[in-house]
């Protein structure tokens, strides 16, 4: 017969699937008497686990959400996935990551090291936890939000927005919402949002863009309010797209052997070098800042290579 501690862990493991289990089912799975099972359920409640019971023939039990987070049990696969995922999340997951790593048995620590060593990440995703939580709650309750937003131009302003989605693209988090002052859909980077307020007013549902994720992706590549670079490549769109990262901008076919590239980068230097690395002839249609930086970089490279 298993010890009370082992039996309670087995009971908790069964209840954590979130489904309702009859008393007879628990008795059979634990190999204990009905009285012992009821006593173990009471002990779980004393430890803070919100076990809900239903009266009736045999009774039924279910683990529900409580007012606090009790200790959880993970399978081996769940533990490995949780640790690896937290390592990629960034600073927001550091606390939880340290707690998990301290209690990992050696067999799982070995698996975690093996998986982590086999994964290359250019950068970890920085999660703006507080903003994600506040905006997520507002989206769920369909409530307006107010916040200060600083775009690429650096000139911050207050925005009144009806938030509908949060989207993660690469390293960044974005908010998709209806800007009430501009009467249009807009995308906002969460790391540029501050002073978020939720006044409590609600809004009626609007018809979303056909594909919210694609809308955010396109807007993130070429922001509506930013100064845009326009470049014409003498090559098929398929060739240019393969040689540019998705976040660089949008490629539009102009024919079988020509395409237009539109971008709104944070750095003209970066874009000037990136365009040259595509490896096909191109013409910069604008803006003047990109043309000037391309000439300066080209001259510097020519002098260095003489």
Query: In the chain, which ranges are E strands?
Result: 21-22, 51-54, 60-63, 145-149, 157-169, 172-179, 184-189, 193-197, 229-233, 250-255, 258-263, 282-286
Name the 3-class secondary structure at 63.
strand
Instruction: Write phi, then psi, for 158 (nearest 5 degrees).
Output: -80, 140
**Structural domains present in the chain:** 4-63 (1.10.10.10), 76-117 (no CATH), 129-213 (2.30.30), 229-304 (3.30.70)
Quote the pLDDT of residue 1.
47
Q: How far is CA 34 from CA 7, 17, 54, 266, 269, in A?
A: 13, 21, 15, 66, 73
Q: Are 22 and 60 in contact (CB under 8 A)?
A: yes
Name the residue with tokens 């006593």. 39
Quote the pLDDT of residue 142.
92
Name the 3-class secondary structure at 249.
coil
Name the 3-class secondary structure at 103.
helix
Quote the pLDDT of residue 143.
93
Six token digits for residue 296: 């300066």
Instruction: State yes or no: pLDDT of 281 exceeds 90.
Output: yes
Per-residue confidence band for 280, with pLDDT thresholds at 50, 70 and 90: very high
The residue with greater pLDDT, 185 or 96, is: 185
- pLDDT tens-digit readout, 285-297: 989 999 999 999 9
Q: How far is CA 154 from CA 65, 158, 196, 216, 270, in A?
A: 43, 13, 18, 21, 19
Six token digits for residue 146: 């107010």
- pLDDT tens-digit readout, 161-172: 999 988 877 667
Instruction: State yes or no: pLDDT of 52 exceeds 70.
Output: yes
Q: How far apart are CA 291 and CA 272, in angstroms?
A: 8
């Amino acid at each position: 017969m298993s010890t009370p501690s082992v039996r309670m862990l087995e009971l908790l493991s069964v209840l954590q699937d979130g489904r309702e289990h009859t008393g007879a089912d628990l008795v059979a799975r634990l190999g204990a008497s009905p009285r012992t099972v009821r006593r173990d359920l009471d002990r779980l409640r004393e430890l803070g686990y919100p076990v809900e019971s239903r009266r009736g023939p045999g009774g039924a039990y279910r683990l529900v959400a409580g007012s606090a987070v009790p200790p959880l049990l993970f399978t081996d696969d769940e533990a490995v996935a949780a640790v690896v995922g937290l390592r990629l999340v960034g600073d927001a997951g550091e606390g939880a990551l340290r707690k998990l790593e301290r209690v990992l048995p050696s067999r799982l620590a070995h698996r975690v090291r093996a998986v982590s060593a086999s994964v290359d990440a250019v950068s970890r995703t920085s999660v703006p936890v507080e903003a994600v939580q506040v905006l997520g709650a507002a989206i769920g309750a369909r409530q307006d939000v107010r916040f200060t937003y600083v775009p690429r131009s650096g000139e911050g302003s207050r925005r009144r927005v009806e938030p509908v989605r949060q989207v993660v693209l690469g390293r960044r988090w974005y908010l998709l919402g209806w800007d009430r002052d501009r009467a249009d859909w807009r995308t906002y980077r969460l790391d540029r949002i501050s002073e978020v307020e939720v006044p409590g007013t609600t809004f009626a549902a609007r018809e979303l863009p056909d594909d919210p994720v694609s809308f955010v992706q396109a807007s993130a590549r070429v922001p509506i309010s930013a100064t845009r670079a326009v470049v014409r490549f003498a090559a098929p769109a398929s060739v240019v797209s393969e040689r540019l990262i998705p976040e660089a901008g949008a490629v539009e076919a102009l024919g079988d052997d020509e395409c237009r590239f539109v971008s709104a980068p944070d750095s003209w230097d970066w874009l000037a070098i990136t365009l040259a690395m595509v490896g096909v002839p191109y013409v910069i249609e604008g803006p003047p800042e990109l043309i000037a930086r391309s000439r300066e970089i080209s001259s510097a490279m020519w002098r260095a290579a003489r």
